[in-house]
Amino acid sequence: MDLSILKPLPNYLAKRYKIWKDTSFEENKTLYKKLSDEGQNPRAMIISCCDSRVHVTSIFGSEAGEFFIHRNIANLVPPFKSSSDYHGTSAAIEYAITILKIPHLIVLGHSSCGGINACFNYFSHEEEKLNQKSSFIRSWLELLRPTFNSLDKNIHEKEQIKILEKNAVLVSLKNLLTFPFIQKAIDQDKLTLHGLWHEIDTGNLLNFDSKKNKFIMIE
């Protein structure tokens, strides 16, 4: 591979970095020194969507070193599978639980999710762009086919998509329970799982209540 194609950082990002370095970094230099010297000890892991509108650290007002964050399309977790394939999401989870010993694992879904919308369109209309065997997105979204098939097709599509967004969180939580080290940590009271859904336009955050079997707004 010829790396000569690489270019300098865009000017607007370089300028933003310099501002951060001169302000936020300087104000928190002691914290960054401590994190560098002592390593990280995150209070929670958050699995969220890649969507640029989901500002994970801002939602919880966190500072550097507080969250171990993994992002992917539609905040999905595949079921446990022991193989030699590349498993980025599974590797991140394993590191968080077995190495960092993180006590809280949160799956954070959100409204107007592009990945979920693509999933709905693909399963509904076999969208041509994703209907190629070589599509990484297609293979990834197959994780949601069973929950898509269970949707009530008599209700409005927008409502179906919102349900699918929330169900994606539950699918990921159920798949997390297939990981032996996850179940072991839960059995030993060393780990708790949480399912959240964030509504972008209102700022509302809903938490899945297992007793009521529905998402409840956090107030």
Residue 124: the pLDDT is 86
CA terminus-to-terminus distance, the chain: 52
Per-residue model confidence (pLDDT) at position 139 = 87
Q: What is the pLDDT of residue 83?
A: 77
The DSSP secondary structure of the chain, one letter per residue, reads --GGG--PPPHHHHHHHHHHIIIIIHHTHHHHHHHHHH----SEEEEEE--TT--HHHHTT--TTSEEEEEEGGG--PPP--SSS--HHHHHHHIIIIIS--SEEEEEEETT-HHHHHHHHHHHH--GGG-STT-HHHHHHGGGHHHHHTS-TTS-HHHHHHHHHHHHHHHHHHHHTTSHHHHHHHHTT--EEEEEEE-TTT--EEEEETTTTEEEE--
- Domain ranges within the chain, ordered by starting residue: 8-39, 41-217
| Residue ranges of the chain whose pLDDT lies below 50 | none
pLDDT of residue 132: 65
Q: What's the pLDDT at 130?
A: 58
Q: Does domain 41-217 have CATH number 3.40.1050.10?
A: yes
